[in-house]
Amino acid sequence: MPPAKKRTRSYDPAKIRAAVLAQFGHVGDAVLALPTEALDGPTRLGEWTVRDLAGHIAWMVDSVPQLLAAPEPAQQELPLLEWPFATAGAAGRIDEHTRGLDSADLPGLYGRTREAYGTAVAAAADTRLLPVSLGAMTLADFLVTRTVELVVHTDDLSAATGLDIPYDRQALAACTRLLADALAARAPGGAVEVRIPPYAVVQCVEGPRHTRGTPPNVVETDPLTWIRLATGRASWAAELDAARVSASGERADLAALLPLMG
Decide if pLDDT at 2 tops 50. no
Average pLDDT for 190-199 = 96
Q: What is the pLDDT of residues 221-246, one digit of tens each?
A: 999 999 999 999 999 999 999 999 99
Lowest mean pLDDT among 21-30, 62-71, 127-136, 205-214: 205-214
Average pLDDT for 54-82 = 95
Q: What is the pLDDT of residues 143-175, one digit of tens each?
A: 999 999 999 999 999 999 999 999 999 999 999
Domains in the chain, ordered, with CATH? 13-172 (1.20.120.450), 187-257 (3.30.1050.40)
Map residue 107 onto helix, strand or coil: helix
Which uninterrupted H or E stretch holds 130? strand 129-130
pLDDT of the residue at 236: 98
pLDDT of the residue at 8: 65
| Strand partners for 245 | 221
Decide if pLDDT at 4 tops 80. no
Cβ-based neighbours of 122, under 8 Å, separated by 6 or more: none
What confidence category does residue 5 fall into, taking pLDDT thresholds of 50, 70 and 90?
very low
pLDDT of the residue at 94: 86
| Strand partners for 200 | 196
* CA pair distance 249, 81, nearest whole angstrom: 27
pLDDT of the residue at 3: 41
b (16+ CB within 10 A) / e for 163-188: beebbbebbbbbbbbbbbbbbbbbbe
Cβ-based neighbours of 95, under 8 Å, separated by 6 or more: 46, 48
Angle 75-78-80 from CA coordinates, rounded to 5° = 125
Following CA atoms 161, 166, 172, 175 in sequence, which dihedral angle do they give, to the nearest 10 degrees?
-30
Decide if pLDDT at 62 tops 80. yes
Q: Are β-strands 218-221 and 192-196 bridged in parallel, bridged antiparallel, or unpaired?
A: parallel
Query: DSSP label at 214?
Result: S
Decide if pLDDT at 1 tops 50. no
pLDDT of the residue at 200: 98
Average pLDDT for 178-187 = 97
| Strand partners for 42 | 49
pLDDT of the residue at 100: 83
Q: What is the pLDDT of residues 73-122, one digit of tens each?
A: 988 789 999 999 998 887 888 888 888 888 999 999 999 999 999 999 99
Map residue 198 onto helix, strand or coil: coil
| Contact (Cβ atoms closer than 8 angstroms) between residue 218 and residue 202 | no
Decide if pLDDT at 43 tops 90. yes
pLDDT of the residue at 156: 98
Share above pLDDT 70 across residues of the chain, in percent, rounded to a whole number: 95
What confidence category does residue 203 fall into, taking pLDDT thresholds of 50, 70 and 90?
very high
